[in-house]
Each structure stands twice: as C-alpha cells, then as structure tokens.
Amino acid sequence: MNDLSGTTAAVPFVKASACGNDFLIIDGLHAPPDLPAFSRGICDRHNGIGADGVEWLFPAQDADIRARLINADGSDAEISGNGTRCVAAYLCSEKPRQQLNIRTGAGIKNCTLISHNHKSFEFEISMGEPQVGDEFPIKAAFTEVHGIPVSMGNPHFVVFVEEFGPAWQGDAAEIGKHHDFKYGINVEFVHVRDKANIEVRFYERGVGETQSSGTGSCAAAVAAIFSKKAESPVRVHAPGGAQTVRWEDQVFLRGPAQLVCRGEFLL
C-alpha cells in the first residue's frame, strides 16, 4: 500500500523452477494476514510474478526449515516434490551444504545434493513410503476411466493411456473434481514407453496443467511398477523435463532445480 511519503511496501521473493514446475519462495517473516489472497495475487501470470505456488518458509525445531505450500489458487497443499527441491536449491544458494531436512505438510523430507553448477542444482529426495490402492473406475461425463490411487502424502489418481488425446486436460479436470474425491485429487495420465521410461501429463489440484510434478512423477512411477508395467528405477518424462524415480523401501525422487530470479512484489 502506498503511503503519503511515496514509499511502497514490498515483499521479497526468489523464483525457482524444477522442470518447468515453478515456485516463489518467500520468508514467512513477510507473510501478510491473508496468505491465500496474497499467494493468488503473486502467482497470477498476468498481474503478478507468475508461479504454480508459493513455498512459505518458517523456522522448524526438527528440520532446517518448514515449508508451507500454497497453490496458485490460494488453497493449501500438503507437499510438492518439485517445490521442496526448489526450496532446497534456495537454501543451498544461501549456505552451501550437502544434506537438508525440510519439514512439509507430508512430513520431513531429506534432500541430498547431487551436483551444483552456478544457479542450477540437482537433488535426490527421500519421499517416504507410498500408499497404493487397487485400480477402480470413475464415471465421467461421456466415458468410464480406470485409474490407480496413490498417496505420496498427497492424493493422486494415475490413468494409463495409449496416447494423450486433444481433450486430456478437460478429462483430467473432471476427474480431479469428481465427487468420489471429497478433497479433490491430482491426476496423472501416463503412457508407458518401456519398462524403464514413462511419459506423463499432470493436472494438479489448485493449479491445473503443470509442466512437471515431483509427487506426480513419483505416483506415476509407483503405479507403473505396482501394475508391472515398469521396473525401478523409472525415468519420468514430462513437457518440462525428466526426473528419475526409484522405489525401494521408500520412494526416491531425483531431478534438477534452478533459481530463476530475485525481486520484490509491491503491495
């Protein structure tokens, strides 16, 4: 808000991207009273900075930092694998280190730095044990869609397809808001190339279509391995780039994160 002296209040941010899945990273000290409304405004791609979500950072007694994720529409999300990786990249840029523990809404995630080159980082994150259900059908407007439910600390519905049709976004949006999913769900359409490679399209709660998704990549790979369509490790290819998922006692996600810019958002 502008005051009579002409000075303008501003919130500093860092923008980061993990395979095109972009986030704004903001210190919780600058959190305004209405966090959802502010997050919607700053994520707006026309009148704001533009992002899939905001990672708000707060102190944590049992981790290096606590990250609260708010989606582009102002809704809370338990976790983003890519967003967590972006937070890790930001923290490493501030203070070099090899290991980080980040508390998310889905628990503490350990991030291991694999490589670093200027503003680009690569991490492997321990994503925890997945919960996988049996395949079941969803009745959509004009068809019936079969998918596998997977929880990575947040909910996913994985649908295997032979190809990505021209209306896949509309189908995914309908599934994501289906009455069978009380709180909505993230949707992945998956085409299996071979036992080691899958191609995925993502439609996320509170955001819509995204270029990539960390937890979505994990869910897609887990569903492919669970249904014996693939074997660990799985290379997950998306419009924004590729990540690697391996499923042992728990799921591990490996991929890049890049710091894009720093700035101030005027209030």
Structural domain containing residue 185: 131-248
Do 171 and 95 lie in a common domain?
A: no
Do 175 and 242 lie in a common domain?
A: yes
Where do the DSSP E strands lie in 19-169? 21-27, 53-58, 65-71, 76-77, 99-104, 107-117, 120-128, 131-132, 136-139, 144-151, 155-160
Do 118 and 15 lie in a common domain?
A: yes
Within a domain: 119: yes
Do 192 and 215 lie in a common domain?
A: yes
DSSP class per residue in 13-57:
EEEEEETTEEEEEEEGGG--S-HHHHHHHHH-TTTS---SEEEEE
Within a domain: 216: yes
Do 148 and 237 lie in a common domain?
A: yes
Distance CA 217, CA 195 (A): 15
Within a domain: 1: no
Within a domain: 174: yes
Strand partners, 264: 12
Do 156 and 85 lie in a common domain?
A: no
The tally of domains found in the chain comes to 2
**Residue 109, domain CATH:** 3.10.310.10
Q: What is the pTM of this model?
A: 0.94
Within a domain: 18: yes
Do 173 and 226 lie in a common domain?
A: yes
Within a domain: 2: no
Query: Could you read off the pLDDT tens digit of each residue along the chain, which spans 267 residues?
Result: 344 445 568 999 999 999 999 999 999 999 999 999 999 999 999 999 999 999 999 999 999 999 999 999 999 999 999 999 999 999 999 999 999 999 999 999 999 999 999 999 999 999 999 999 999 999 877 788 999 999 999 999 999 999 998 889 999 999 999 988 999 999 999 999 999 999 999 999 999 999 999 999 999 999 999 999 999 999 999 999 999 999 998 999 999 999 999 999 998
Distance CA 22, CA 87 (A): 11
Question: What pLDDT does residue 252 have?
Answer: 98
Alpha-carbon distances of 45 from 57, 204, 207, rounded to whole Å? 22, 17, 12
Within a domain: 4: no
Question: What pLDDT does residue 7 have?
Answer: 57
Distance CA 189, CA 161 (A): 7
Do 168 and 261 lie in a common domain?
A: no
